[in-house]
Amino acid sequence: MSDTLTPLTIDFLGWLAAAPRSYAEVMEAWRTSCPRLPVWEDAVDAGLVAYRHDPGKPAMVEMTAQGAAFLAVHKR
């Protein structure tokens, strides 16, 4: 993960840690078409967040243990 994305990733993980978030909410708030700011994609690729979908419930995005550790180290 580049140094440019680290502050955005910290913001994303902090936002995700504050409350459970549906996949739809995450996509509305964090999806981008800018190839220079792929915060969502990089967080998934790095194993910092995971997508979960239980039958009959909305799809959810959760911070992983690796994401929580990343946030703890980089939190301002």
Question: Structural domain boundaries of the chain?
Answer: 6-74
Rounded distance between C-alpha atoms, residue 51 and residue 64, angstroms: 10
pLDDT at 48: 95
Global pTM reads 0.82
- Integer angstrom CA distances of residue 2 from 27, 36, 58, 72: 21, 10, 32, 18
pLDDT at 2: 57
Kind of pairing between the strands at 60-63 and 21-22: antiparallel
pLDDT along the chain (76 residues), means of 10: 74 91 90 75 92 93 95 84
In the sheet where 21-22 sits, what is the strand order? 21-22, 60-63, 49-52
Class of the CATH-defined domain 6-74:
mainly alpha
